[in-house]
């Protein structure tokens, strides 16, 4: 079956292109209770690089379950310590394939929309970003799910200059996350970090290849971003030994299933958007 193809529409602009587009402002309420940086005297040994697979998907897309299964197969072959999956559900760009089903859990959210708008809106569903990288002569970041295994393997061969360590404590629904970024090699590029909560096991209606599934299980759904979803700047020089320690506090909403959630940290290049490293832990 052919993938669903978006039908784009062009709107006439009322004003000239001189109009300034304001930056995204995050109005969420995680408290940053510690934010410090220093240069360690001992350079840490390098972690292995993990790869971020972002599945751009929708609940009314009949081929999207096949892409989700492809992502699960890759994890099964590589382990979640090597490949981190994040499913992006947004109703911003094509309601035909992404509009939530009335009476069912809505997995769409603004955070997914912000990531997609930053990295490139796909011309079809399903599609996905592999480490947000443009492969070969590509001018776009998204790729058909049939190509994901090969592209993941390419990125797994790379090394990473930054080690990511995540720790968490949970008291009731009060979450504290400690994020540590430690550079094992000097970097001249500018980097940024993103910190997310994802959730698996969300039951909601989904279009399938043959019909509809009212009890479809959505996994790795992006649910929340600490700060700016498209990245928060790391402003100090990235010399070997440079260490950033940040602690966040957040009250997890009651509709999140704590036992099915993960905390995901992504470090990316602020210019190219390439993922430098990624890690996740259970919430």
Question: Which stretches within the chain are classed as H helix?
Answer: 64-78, 95-98, 110-119, 148-156
List the structure tokens of 261: 């959630």
Asked if pLDDT for residue 134 goes beyond 60, the answer is yes
- Assign 21 a pLDDT band (cuts: 50, 70, 90): very low
State pLDDT tens for residues 37-55. Answer: 999 999 999 999 999 999 9
Alpha-helical runs (H) found in 16-93? 64-78
Quick one: what percent of the chain has pLDDT higher than 90? 83
Which pLDDT does position 238 carry in this prediction?
Answer: 98
Query: How many structural domains does the chain have?
Result: 1
Residue 62 lies in a domain: yes
* Distance from C-alpha of 89 to C-alpha of 51, rounded to nearest angstrom: 20
Q: Say if 199 falls within a structural domain.
A: yes
162 assigned to some structural domain = yes
Predicted structure pTM score: 0.88
Q: Is residue 152 part of a domain?
A: yes
- Residue 7 phi/psi, 5° resolution? -105, 105
Q: How far apart are alpha carbons 20 and 3 in whole angstroms? A: 36
Let me know if residue 172 belongs to a domain.
Answer: yes
Neighbour order of strands in the sheet with 31-39 = 31-39, 242-251, 174-183, 162-171
Does any domain span residue 261?
yes
Give the chain's mean pLDDT.
89
| Residue 261, pLDDT score | 98
Instruction: Report yes or no on 4 lying in a domain.
Output: no
| 5 pLDDT more than 60 | no
pLDDT for 280 equals: 97
- For residue 31, name the pLDDT band (cuts at 50, 70, 90): low
Range of the domain at 246: 27-282
Q: Strand ranges (DSSP E) for 2-138?
A: 4-5, 31-39, 51-57, 83-89, 124-125, 127-130
Task: List pLDDT tens digits, range 247-270.
Answer: 999 999 999 999 999 999 999 999
Q: Given this model, what pLDDT does residue 34 score?
A: 84
Confidence tier at 11 by pLDDT (50, 70, 90): very low
Instruction: Write out pLDDT tens, residues 178-226.
Output: 999 999 999 999 999 999 999 999 999 999 999 999 999 999 999 999 9
Domain with 202 in it: what CATH number? 2.60.40.10
């Amino acid at each position: 079956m052919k993938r669903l193809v978006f039908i784009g529409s062009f709107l006439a602009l009322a004003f000239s292109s001189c109009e300034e587009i304001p930056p995204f402002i995050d109005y969420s309420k995680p408290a940053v209770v510690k934010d410090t940086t220093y240069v360690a005297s001992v350079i840490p040994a390098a972690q292995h690089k993990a790869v971020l697979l972002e599945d751009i998907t929708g609940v009314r897309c009949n081929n999207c379950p096949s892409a989700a299964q492809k992502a699960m197969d890759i994890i099964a072959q590589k382990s979640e310590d090597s490949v981190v999956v994040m499913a992006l559900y947004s109703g911003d760009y094509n309601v035909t394939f992404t509009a939530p089903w009335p009476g069912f859990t809505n997995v769409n959210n603004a955070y997914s929309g912000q990531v997609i708008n930053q990295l490139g809106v796909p011309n079809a569903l399903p599609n996905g970003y592999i480490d947000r990288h443009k492969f070969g002569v590509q001018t776009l970041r998204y790729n058909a799910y049939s190509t994901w295994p090969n592209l993941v393997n390419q990125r797994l061969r790379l090394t990473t200059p930054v080690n990511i360590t995540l720790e968490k404590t949970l008291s009731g629904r009060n979450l504290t996350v400690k994020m540590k970024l430690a550079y094992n090699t000097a970097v001249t590029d500018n980097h940024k970090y993103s910190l997310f909560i994802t959730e698996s096991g969300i039951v909601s209606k989904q279009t399938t290849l043959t019909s509809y599934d009212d009890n479809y299980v959505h996994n790795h759904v992006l649910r929340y971003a600490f700060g700016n979803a498209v990245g928060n700047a790391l402003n100090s020089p990235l010399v070997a030994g440079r260490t950033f320690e940040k602690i966040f506090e957040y009250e997890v909403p009651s509709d999140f299933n704590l036992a099915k959630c993960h905390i995901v940290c992504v470090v990316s290049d602020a210019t190219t958007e390439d993922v430098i490293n990624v890690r996740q832990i259970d919430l």
